[in-house]
Structure 1
């Protein structure tokens, strides 16, 4: 009801069965809930703006068993790639090829429409063998199998907004594009000033009060903004913040004289004074203990949830797994801390 979706959407979850791939999860759900109609499949690490009805209509008009939404990309590495025939039927599909071995630049978005007839295929001896071998991934196993067996698998090409955010770099790329293009309605936020893309979220009385504080600080020059910036609900922002093309999530506390550039700070982070963060992702509930005399610097790095970073530390080109404590004056370069 909150988003005005009609008819109302009901969410059901996969039963607690052991599965051996994303296609196996679809098989289990279709059997468990006795789904005997066309199904739309979307991978959880996707962000997209598609007209889904157009894709479903295309699938049904083609008489396809499976339709894969494809998008041209510059770099195919890390994606499944399809080669099409003249009628857009998929002739060949390879999962994550080397650039020089890719049959095209059409990347699998991980968004599919499947017909109910696939349930019979899921019950076949061939698929039971795949299950026994633990090979039930759509890209690696099922899509090539269906194509090789001659089933009608089609590609639906799009140039609409789509991001695979399955890696930190892609997550930040998607964040930057969305921050730079979406308006305040999509961001569910208030734009502070018509001349700057500074958006702040929140509709409660406390949020409105904090929005007014941030607006006043910006107008008084105590916050400097470049590019597009989103601040979440109930944020507490210190003076001297310089923020550029970044997102600061809900309930975050940001100290004085902070520099945040092309980074994502997730919810409930506690950032001390004089921290510099660039091209990085800071996970939820991270605490960075920094001061004017012992500042912290984080560059091109990923900090997992619930990490504590002590004063004077420097982290560059590194990944810190969740729940770690980084000692005072640590120097971490090109490392993975597990």
Structure 2
């Protein structure tokens, strides 16, 4: 793969509100979204592997606060494979008024003279950067916005859509369109008729020319906006389109959003079923412990379409479907896990029923035949949570190191 003459800039300054409790290490102590684990690998490692395979040689991590900056540093350092890693200086933290402002400010601070690829640290991408860069050069675009194909139902009430001309140049943004507006955009006579039709939304990845970045940094109008807020998608891009900058789109093959529990699990499911192409973790296990370190699944257990880490143990008659069990997870007999992501070192006792849920590390779910524990409907359990037998959690968010006592029912809280 030829080196790409760009600098990648990862935006890691957010507080991870949507994917709590996985972004909490303890009460009021945050974990960076970039270091959350997804299917055996931290998100930032997935992203750096992807960038390296595409020919990116330098990555600047834009962080904010001690948690974001130094957690990423401790997991990545200053060199990852063939990629040089750099970090935004703490002196800029207090000046940051949004993702757009942080991008411009750090580009100026580091004097970046190559095109800048901006990406979020809570998503995974199946995206051909080499092809995107060629389009960027061929069209002489000022900026390129990566788009993700989606549906009207997915957009409604949650996201905006991008409107382009035949050359894929952006002409307008439509923020959170109504049912009627989506029908008009699709030229559809009914809401049902919009469902099979493609819509395009901002995937949060941008490529900008360095001279354009310099111009944006020097703009008096943007200087005024930056005093309050300069978000990339909400402020900077609409302003650029309004001011007639050449902003084009480039479609991703797929985008996996990991920023909230339902989307996290949906992305996992697409990877498990082969609908989203990702390079699986490959970790060699040395002798003489190779056999013991492999997952041990009892012959009577059922495991379907799931990822199992090393040292996973699954007992008799347990069932695991469409799920991730990271390293050192133990599942006792007759427990059932489906459509869930169970992180390292978790212990699931017999007869527990876990469905559509997300666990941090070292979660202990106690259960028995006469008092089965049920955890369902996009529940999220932080690190080292203990759940006693007989508990039922539905859509519950449980902070790290919480002890949930027996026969308690928590619904969406």
Check if 1:118 corresponds to 2:196: no
Once residues 409 and 207 of structure 2 are traced to their aligned partners in structure 1, the CA distance between those partners, rounded to angstroms, is: 49
Once residues 289 and 160 of structure 2 are traced to their aligned partners in structure 1, the CA distance between those partners, rounded to angstroms, is: 43
Residue correspondence of structure 1 range 36-51 to structure 2 within 5 A: 36-51=113-128
Once residues 130 and 183 of structure 1 are traced to their aligned partners in structure 2, the CA distance between those partners, rounded to angstroms, is: 38
Check if 1:176 corresponds to 2:256: no
Check if 1:274 corresponds to 2:356: no
Q: Structure 2 length normalisation: TM-score? A: 0.70
Once residues 54 and 330 of structure 1 are traced to their aligned partners in structure 2, the CA distance between those partners, rounded to angstroms, is: 54
Contact 1:297-1:314 at 8 Å conserved across structures: yes
* 1:186 counterpart residue number: 279
1:89 is aligned, of 157, 169, 174, to 169
Name the SS for the 1:267 alignment partner: coil
Deviation at 1:242, TM superposition (A): 0.5
- CA spacing shift, 1:38–1:273, aligned 2, 3 Å: same
* 2:245 counterpart residue number: 151
Contact 2:303-2:319 at 8 Å conserved across structures: yes
**Which structure shows the higher helix fraction?**
2
Residue correspondence of structure 1 range 217-256 to structure 2 within 5 A: 217=298, 221-226=299-304, 228-256=305-333
Check if 1:136 corresponds to 2:136: no
Q: Deviations over 1:9-59 (max 9, x none)?
A: 111122212212111221232122211111111111211111101111111
Contact 1:207-1:234 at 8 Å conserved across structures: no
Once residues 206 and 66 of structure 1 are traced to their aligned partners in structure 2, the CA distance between those partners, rounded to angstroms, is: 53
Deviation at 1:151, TM superposition (A): 0.9
* 2:67 counterpart residue number: none
Using the TM superposition, name which of 77-86 and 169-178 deviates more: 77-86
Check if 1:12 corresponds to 2:107: no
Residue correspondence of structure 1 range 38-117 to structure 2 within 5 A: 38-74=115-151, 75-77=154-156, 78-102=158-182, 103=185, 105-116=199-210, 117=212
Once residues 206 and 81 of structure 1 are traced to their aligned partners in structure 2, the CA distance between those partners, rounded to angstroms, is: 55
Contact 1:95-1:139 at 8 Å conserved across structures: no
User: Which has the higher relative contact order, 1 or 2, with Cα contacts under 8 A spaced 6 or more apart?
Assistant: 2
* 2:196 counterpart residue number: none
Contact 2:323-2:339 at 8 Å conserved across structures: yes
- CA spacing shift, 1:97–1:44, aligned 2, 3 Å: farther
Name the SS for the 1:118 alignment partner: helix
Deviation at 1:273, TM superposition (A): 2.2
Contact 1:206-1:234 at 8 Å conserved across structures: no
Structure 2 unaligned blocks of 5 or more: 1-47, 58-81, 187-198
Aligned-pair RMSD on alpha carbons?
2.5
Once residues 111 and 310 of structure 1 are traced to their aligned partners in structure 2, the CA distance between those partners, rounded to angstroms, is: 43
Q: Structure 1 length normalisation: TM-score? A: 0.85
Q: Deviations over 1:209-260 (max 9, x none)?
A: 2355626x3xxx232123x110112323333321111101122232222100
Q: Deviations over 1:65-102 (max 9, x none)?
A: 11011122112243332100122110001344445445
- CA spacing shift, 1:25–1:210, aligned 2, 3 Å: farther
Q: Deviations over 1:174-229 (max 9, x none)?
A: 1111011179993235xxxxxxxxxxx652347632355626x3xxx232123x11
Deviation at 1:131, TM superposition (A): 1.7
Check if 1:311 corresponds to 2:389: yes
Name the SS for the 1:58 alignment partner: helix
Count of residue pairs the alignment pairs up: 316
